[in-house]
Amino acid sequence: MLCFQVTAHSTTGATATTSVKISVLDANDNAPSFEKGRYEVSVHESTPTSTPLISVRATDADDGDNGRVAYSIAGDGGKGAFSIDASTGIVSLQVRICN
């Protein structure tokens, strides 16, 4: 809970003061957390492109937008070869591994 004082001033110099208390229902104070520290999947070389390979899942203890999770591939390692659905966490193959 946050508490502070507010003062009002009139043009004639009169003042009034009141206190304000604000209860914070939810702050974005939790980072998302993956269910597993590591996900592994084996892919056959003939797997067609656009094949879903694995689903990752993270949760966030905050409410509403503060707890909403969106997925993306970090760094350059998987970009181009794999894609991830931002809302479902499903990782798919984007390029065929062998012709």
Among 54, 55, 58, 60, binds Ca ion (CB under 5 A): 60
30 Cβ contact partners less than 8 Å away, ≥ 6 residues apart: 60, 61, 62, 66, 67
58 binds Ca ion (CB under 5 A): no
Q: Closest CB to Ca ion among 28 and 87? A: 28
Q: Closest CB to Ca ion among 49 and 66? A: 66
Residue found under tokens 């003061």: 17
| 15 half-sphere exposure, CB direction, 13 A CA radius | 6
Distance in angstroms (rounded) separating the CA atoms of residues 67 and 32: 8
62 binds Ca ion (CB under 5 A): yes
Among 28, 49, 59, 88, binds Ca ion (CB under 5 A): 28
Q: Residues in the site for Ca ion, rule: CB under 5 A?
A: 28, 30, 60, 62, 66
